[in-house]
Amino acid sequence: MKKKYSACLIGTGRIGFTLGFDKKREQPASHTMACLNNPKIRITGGCDSNAEALAKWKKYVDRHISQITFSEDKKVKTFSEKQIDLMFASCNPDIVIIAVNEDSHLETALKVIEKKPRLVILEKPVALNLEEGKKIVKAAKKNKVPVLVNHERRFASDYAMAKEYITKIGDVQKINACLFSGMRLYDPKAEKNGGYSLLHDGTHLVDIVMYLLEALGDSELKKPVITGLFKDTKEKKVIRGFTANYSTKQVSDISILMSGRSRYFGFEVDVIGTEGKICIGNGHAEFFKRQESNLYTGFYSLKEDKTVKLSKKTGYFANMIQNGVDFLDGKAPLRSTLETGMNALKVLEDIKAKIK
């Protein structure tokens, strides 16, 4: 067990760095801030194809490190996208975080995995598509490199509570998962860069449904039945809405609705059982149980379960980084893996095949 693990970050954009300054988000909300806050991690290097973004990142990280250590010789080293070999030679990182845009996941992951770091943290989605994802899986297996995929809700305490509570609400009758935004859900022109919401945000929704289903021992979502397909009124190949319907051995009715024509951003999952209900989403988590009704004599109603105590912070990002540390310390398995990430990608591809 090492005292501190060295980490290099590839991609110093929003999730890599700048979301850490968003005052409305639960912090830490970026890899940089989460690593700087973790006492077992020392950031040693950063890499980006955008020299300006990289320089801003270095300035911030160096200042932060010098305030903690009062040492000038701990300054981070920076590298262009062509200098990944040099980054490994100079920093010898235990952990490499890949937070580049989707169209660079494959190329970057292959370069990194070949160098055999002790852990790769890879941003979601695993890759642009299943075919590219399979190449990453193959390389990770060949080089025996563990990969944590940042489907962040798997690390949030409110979703962990939902997964636990799902076994307390009787038989699950229905799961209703919804994503609302004003973005294109699918656009064939965006296949090359992954700039469509089905992939970008849909991966979170599909992954969290499968995470919750794990509690019931049956998380496979087989081919969907699509209803409510809604095409853009001007560009007919652009998809703005659909519902993907599934049933598993345990839950006969699962519906995943994605809307790209809403004038707000929303992410919510309702799990309806025979004895209770869970409503969880961005900024809310409520748990309901069957109790004697206040409304009708001799009946039962659902009431909020006051025994459920949630902490104010979900810890979604800090817990993710801590899971990486615990894994390297030999204390815990990875809680979001290439396997679960690929399962989500497979479901997205099945949906895509039916809506396009």
Ligand X SMILES: NC(=O)c1ccc[n+]([C@@H]2O[C@H](COP(=O)([O-])OP(=O)(O)OC[C@H]3O[C@@H](n4cnc5c(N)ncnc54)[C@H](O)[C@@H]3O)[C@@H](O)[C@H]2O)c1
CB of 144 to ligand X, least distance (A): 24
Give the interface size with ligand X as a residue count (CB under 6 A): 24
Q: Which of 9, 34, 35, 99 binds ligand X (CB under 6 A)?
A: 99
With b for 16 or more beta-carbon neighbours within 10 A and e for fewer, the 283-312 pattern comes to eebbbbbbeeeeeeeeeeebeebeebeeee
Q: What is the dihedral of CA 41, 313, 160, 256, to 10 degrees?
A: -110
* DSSP string covering 274-305: SSEEEEEETTEEEEEEEEE-SSSTT-EEEEE-
Q: What angle do CA 351, 159, 155 make, to 5 degrees?
A: 90
Residue 108 touching ligand X (CB under 6 A)? yes
CB of 136 to ligand X, least distance (A): 13
Q: Beta-carbon neighbour count of residue 182 at 10 Å?
A: 13
Residue 153 touching ligand X (CB under 6 A)? no
Q: Which residue is nearest to ligand X (CB)?
A: 13
Comparing CA positions, the residue from 53, 71, 50, 66 lying closest to residue 17 is: 53
Compose the 192-221 pattern: x for residues touching ligand X by CB under 6 A, - for all others: --------x---------------------
Part in contact with ligand X (CB under 6 A); list of ranges 35-43, 100-108, 265-273, 337-345: 100-108
Q: Beta-carbon neighbour count of residue 138 at 10 Å?
A: 12
Residue 101 touching ligand X (CB under 6 A)? yes
Q: Which of 12, 314, 319, 322 binds ligand X (CB under 6 A)?
A: 12
Residue 102 touching ligand X (CB under 6 A)? yes
Residue 11 touching ligand X (CB under 6 A)? yes
- Kind and range of the H or E run holding 56: helix 51-69
Instruction: Please tell me what DSSP assigns to residue 144.
Output: T
Q: Beta-carbon neighbour count of residue 89 at 10 Å?
A: 10
Q: Quick one: 50 or 176, whose CB is closer to ligand X?
A: 50
Residue 15 touching ligand X (CB under 6 A)? yes
Residue 276 touching ligand X (CB under 6 A)? no
Q: How far apart are the first and last CA of the chain?
A: 49
Q: Quick one: 12 or 340, whose CB is closer to ligand X?
A: 12
Part in contact with ligand X (CB under 6 A); list of ranges 42-50, 163-171, 185-193, 302-310: 42-50
CB of 153 to ligand X, least distance (A): 9
The answer to whether residues 217 and 305 touch, using CB atoms and an 8 Å cutoff, is: no
Integer-rounded Cα Rg, in Å, for the chain is: 21
Q: Quick one: 94 or 123, whose CB is closer to ligand X?
A: 123
Residue 48 touching ligand X (CB under 6 A)? yes
Q: Which of 129, 150, 259, 323 binds ligand X (CB under 6 A)?
A: 150
Q: Which of 27, 49, 157, 337 binds ligand X (CB under 6 A)?
A: 49
Q: Quick one: 24 or 234, whose CB is closer to ligand X?
A: 24
Residue 47 touching ligand X (CB under 6 A)? yes
Please list the residues that pair with 148 across neighbouring strands: 121, 337
Q: What's the one-letter identity of residue 256? A: I
Q: Which of 100, 205, 239, 338 binds ligand X (CB under 6 A)?
A: 100
Report the C-alpha gap between 256 and 178 in whole angstroms.
6
Q: Quick one: 16 or 224, whose CB is closer to ligand X?
A: 16
CB of 259 to ligand X, least distance (A): 19
The answer to whether residues 303 and 169 touch, using CB atoms and an 8 Å cutoff, is: no
CB of 162 to ligand X, least distance (A): 18
Give residues in contact with ligand X (CB under 6 A): 10-16, 47-50, 53, 81, 99-102, 104, 108, 123-124, 150, 152, 200
